[in-house]
């Protein structure tokens, strides 16, 4: 049985004073009260800690003092070791734990991973478990950039943490350790740290919804994720079918090889004293061979039609439905945008007419009105520039509409093509079934009829002999009516 792929997530953050409130960030991750000895302020995300059931612990390397088992002591030591106002204070890894493991097993796996980092770089590591009783268990692993011996931190930072490949190394190590642990526990699951592109897969990654998302409309983003999920499901379906197809080919090849070996063995046996019987070739055997071939074609077409029909019902239909809904919503949004911009242009035109009337009410020969005339002309020029900008935006929106329409037509054409493929396979299946029935009726006329050995196929036989196509009594009656 093939192993199922689990969810993989590992991200890295560099927590610096220039970007974060460092003690507040530490309190957010560990879920306990953190006191900053530099300022005397205390930080505690109490509600978050209760809501997510955060549990925290320290893993200390053998060279370090036992004082580092206290999370507050650990934080203040690494915080005080950095003097610059924009210094990097600590690294944070966020890893997604595995739903197939229970709470204690996940803790053991994360602890083993954190201990590997601690032993390799001689640093204390803080590990905090979040949402362990939910569908999204994960851990935050925090460590400094300086190795520790006793109570002192090294003056020099660990150079590996500055490498651009370090995050990739962490990702590989986590995947390897997790897969080893899953094998030990006999779990039918694995995780892969590589992207779909690195694996040579056509699948797409899901879009993440947060404040940094390119598409701010979360509803549209969720719909895009739904389409991606459906497309990935379709690719999985095709991959599974391809694997089954190759397995069937392998089994057929092995069966043929076994048959070939039996034939060779039979040929190697000593000849018997009795004379072999003369081989008798009949038309009946040719028909049997053709019928068997036709039945294989029918079974193949039936299986292909079944797969295509299920694919159209579940994957292709849902995907086209979502794309159609998205196209309609975008079109409606685009039309409303164009309508608003046209209203703005009408208002600007009306404003310019009023300004023109005001301009006519002033005299160009009166120096006291020159300033007023200048302000009116400036406003008219601004309105014209705004109108030009609005017209350009309308053209841009119409171009977007046209592109969306073309894309929708492509999706509809793709869906119709899949439906046509289904009906074509159904047609081939029915045709092969009817052909098999016709061959069975013809076979009844030529039972035990002998032919020349040179005729090797039914097609050759039909070229030289006429076979009457008989019909059943029901079909004859239907024709007579």
Q: How confident is the model at residue 124 (pLDDT cuts 50, 70, 90)?
A: very high
- Residue 263's pLDDT is 54
CB 172 within 8 A of CB 95: no
The yes-or-no verdict on residue 1 having pLDDT over 60 is: no
Between 481 and 222, where is the model more confident? 222
Q: Show the tokens assigned to 241.
A: 């079918």
CB 42 within 8 A of CB 33: yes
- Residue 3's pLDDT is 76
CB 100 within 8 A of CB 182: yes
- Name 300's Cβ contacts closer than 8 Å, sequence gap at least 6: none
Fold of 4-193: BirA Bifunctional Protein; domain 2 (3.30.930)
- Residue 161's pLDDT is 83
Lowest average pLDDT, out of 93-107, 169-183, 204-218, goes to 204-218
Half-sphere exposure at residue 123, Cβ-oriented, CA atoms within 13 angstroms: 24
Mean pLDDT over 220-228 rounds to: 76
> Rounded to the nearest 5 degrees, what angle is found at the Cα of 428, between the Cα atoms of 422 and 429?
90
Mean pLDDT over 244-270 rounds to: 62
- Residue 271's pLDDT is 47
Mean pLDDT over 394-419 rounds to: 90
Q: How confident is the model at residue 193 (pLDDT cuts 50, 70, 90)?
A: confident
- Residue 357's pLDDT is 92
Mean pLDDT over 364-385 rounds to: 91
CA distance 353 to 364: 18
- Residue 206's pLDDT is 72
pTM summary value: 0.55
- Name 59's Cβ contacts closer than 8 Å, sequence gap at least 6: 111, 114, 115, 118, 124, 125, 126, 127
- Residue 110's pLDDT is 92
Chain position carrying tokens 């943490």: 161
Which segment, 71-75, 238-242, 243-247, 256-260, is predicted with the most confidence on average? 71-75
Mean pLDDT over 17-24 rounds to: 89
Mean pLDDT over 350-366 rounds to: 90
The mean predicted confidence, pLDDT, of the chain is 82
- Residue 2's pLDDT is 64
As a whole number of Å, the CA-based R_g of the chain is: 38
The yes-or-no verdict on residue 259 having pLDDT over 80 is: no
**Three-state SS annotation for 182-193:** HHHCCCCEECCC
Mean pLDDT over 4-10 rounds to: 84
- Residue 481's pLDDT is 47
- Residue 435's pLDDT is 86
Which segment, 204-213, 220-229, 349-358, is predicted with the most confidence on average? 349-358
- Residue 256's pLDDT is 63
The yes-or-no verdict on residue 274 having pLDDT over 50 is: no
- Residue 275's pLDDT is 45
**Three-state SS annotation for 266-300:** HHHCCCCCCCCCCCCCEHHHHHHHHHHHHHHHHHH
Please state, for a pLDDT cut of 90, what percent of the chain lies above it: 27
Mean pLDDT over 376-386 rounds to: 93
Q: How confident is the model at residue 140 (pLDDT cuts 50, 70, 90)?
A: very high
Mean pLDDT over 283-292 rounds to: 78
For residue range 58-114, list pLDDT tens digits in order. 999 988 888 999 999 999 999 988 888 888 899 999 999 998 889 999 999 999 999
Between 139 and 443, where is the model more confident? 139
Mean pLDDT over 143-163 rounds to: 87
CA distance 276 to 117: 79
């Amino acid at each position: 049985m093939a192993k199922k792929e689990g969810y993989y997530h590992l991200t890295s953050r560099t927590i610096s004073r220039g970007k974060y409130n460092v003690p507040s960030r530490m309190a957010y991750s560990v879920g306990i009260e953190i006191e900053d000895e530099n300022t005397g302020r205390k930080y505690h995300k109490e509600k978050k800690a209760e809501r997510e059931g955060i549990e925290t612990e320290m893993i200390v390397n053998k060279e370090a003092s036992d004082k580092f088992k206290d999370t507050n002591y650990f934080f203040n030591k690494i915080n005080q070791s950095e003097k610059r106002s924009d210094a990097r204070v600590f690294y944070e890894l966020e890893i997604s734990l595995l739903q197939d493991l229970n709470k204690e097993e996940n803790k053991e796996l994360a602890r083993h991973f954190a201990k590997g980092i601690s032993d390799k770089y001689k640093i204390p590591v803080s590990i905090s478990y979040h949402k362990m009783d939910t569908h999204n268990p994960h851990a935050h692993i925090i460590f400094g950039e300086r190795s520790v011996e006793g109570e002192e931190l090294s003056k020099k930072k660990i150079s590996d943490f500055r490498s651009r490949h370090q995050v990739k190394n962490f990702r590989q190590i986590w995947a390897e350790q997790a897969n080893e642990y899953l094998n030990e526990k006999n779990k039918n699951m694995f995780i892969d740290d590589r992207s779909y592109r690195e694996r040579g897969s056509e699948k797409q990654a899901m879009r993440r919804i947060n404040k940094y998302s390119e598409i701010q409309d979360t509803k549209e983003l969720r719909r895009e994720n739904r389409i991606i999920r459906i497309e990935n499901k379709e690719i999985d379906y095709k991959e599974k079918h391809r694997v089954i197809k190759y397995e069937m080919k392998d089994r057929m090849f092995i069966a043929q090889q076994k048959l070939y070996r039996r034939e060779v063995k039979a040929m190697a046996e000593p000849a018997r004293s009795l004379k072999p019987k003369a081989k008798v070739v009949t038309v009946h055997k040719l028909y049997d061979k053709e019928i068997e071939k036709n039945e294989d074609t029918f079974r193949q077409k039936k299986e292909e039609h079944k797969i295509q029909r299920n694919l159209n019902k579940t994957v292709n239909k849902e995907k086209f439905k979502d794309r159609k809904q998205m196209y309609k919503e975008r079109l409606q949004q685009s039309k409303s945008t164009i309508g608003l911009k046209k209203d703005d242009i009408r208002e600007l035109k009306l404003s310019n007419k009023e300004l023109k009337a005001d301009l006519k009410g002033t005299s160009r020969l009166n120096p006291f009105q020159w300033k007023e005339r200048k302000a009116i002309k400036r406003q008219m020029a601004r309105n014209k520039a705004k109108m030009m900008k609005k017209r350009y935006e309308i053209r841009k929106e119409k171009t977007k509409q046209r592109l969306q329409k073309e894309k929708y037509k492509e999706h509809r054409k793709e869906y119709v093509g899949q439906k046509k493929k289904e009906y074509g396979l159904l047609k081939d299946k029915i045709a092969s079934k009817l052909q098999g029935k016709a061959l069975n009726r013809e076979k009844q006329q030529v039972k035990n009829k002998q032919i020349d050995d040179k005729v090797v196929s039914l097609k050759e036989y039909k070229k030289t002999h006429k076979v009457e196509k008989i019909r059943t009594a029901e079909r004859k009656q239907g024709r007579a009516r």
